[in-house]
Structure formats: structure tokens, C-alpha cells
Amino acid sequence: QDASFEDCSFIESGAVEGCHFSYADLRDASFKACRLSLANFSGANCFGIEFRECDLKGANFSRARFYNQVSHKMYFCSAYISGCNLAYTNLSGQCLEKCELFENNWSNANLSGASLMGSDLSRGTFSRDCWQQVNLRGCDLTFADLDGLDPRRVNLEG
């Protein structure tokens, strides 16, 4: 919790597996200009986490939490992810609503069942397979590269 990492490498050259942060308490942790390719964040508490200009290619965020559950029906999300390589990252089923998520490369990221509602996705780069079952209502998509987006199939209300 509250840890800060700058210009760190969490993967060895040629490795097929990254660092394991599984079920770690990463609340308000900060990663700046870090190499986190293939890192495993499954089950981690990522509320308030910051990733700035990091390489997260192929990272796994399954069952990670970017939200704080206040009551049975009330929660709020907090994450600051900008200027990052999120290619091939597993964010399926994640709730990243009203978060700073701008200037990221989302190419081939698994966003199936994810909710990014109300988030700033400006200047992001997306690939055609990103659009299945992701909630983008109310998102800022200014200057984003929306390759393959069919506005008839994706709810962009707001």
C-alpha cells in the first residue's frame, strides 16, 4: 500500500512470465516508467493505483479490484493509467468507471465484460477486437483511434 516505483523492471529479458502481484494490497501504489510485461495482478487490490508510461503488455488483471465497495449497491472506482502499453492485457470483467485512462495503447486488450463508463479514454489506440461487450457510455474518446468500432453495436451514449 502506498508503494512507489519509478523506472523499474519487473521482468527479466527473455522471460515468459512476469512478476507476481497476485492478491497484493496495491492501494494507492504508483508505477512510473516501469516494465511490467506479463505481470500477474490477479486478485490484487488496485484501488487508487497509478500506472504512468508503463509497459503492461500481456499483464493479467483477472479478479483484481479497482473499486471500493461502500455498500451493497454503492461503489466508486479509482485508477490512473496513462501513456501505457496495455496491448494483450486481460482486463475482462473489470470495473474502471470514471477513471483517468488516457493516451494508452489498448490494442488486442481483453475488455470483454469490462465497464469503462465515464472514463477519459482520449488519445487512446484501440483495435477492432476491443469492442465486444465493453461499456463505454459517457467516455471521452477525443482523438482516440477507434479502429473497427461500429457505433450501431456499441453504446456510446453520453
For the entire predicted model, the pTM comes to: 0.93
Find which of 8-12, 40-44, 129-133 is predicted with most confidence, using mean pLDDT.
40-44
Question: What average pLDDT score do residues 99-128 get?
Answer: 96
Instruction: Name the one residue in this structure whose C-alpha cell is 485508477.
Output: 79
| Confidence at 150, pLDDT banded by 50, 70, 90 | confident
**Which domains are assigned to the chain?**
1-151 (2.160.20.80)
119 sits in which H/E element:
none
Which residues 6+ apart lie within 8 Å of 86 measured at CB?
56, 57, 59, 104, 105, 106, 109
Grid cell listed for 95: 470495473
Is the model's pLDDT at 158 over the cut of 70?
no
Q: Is the pLDDT of residue 82 over 70?
A: yes
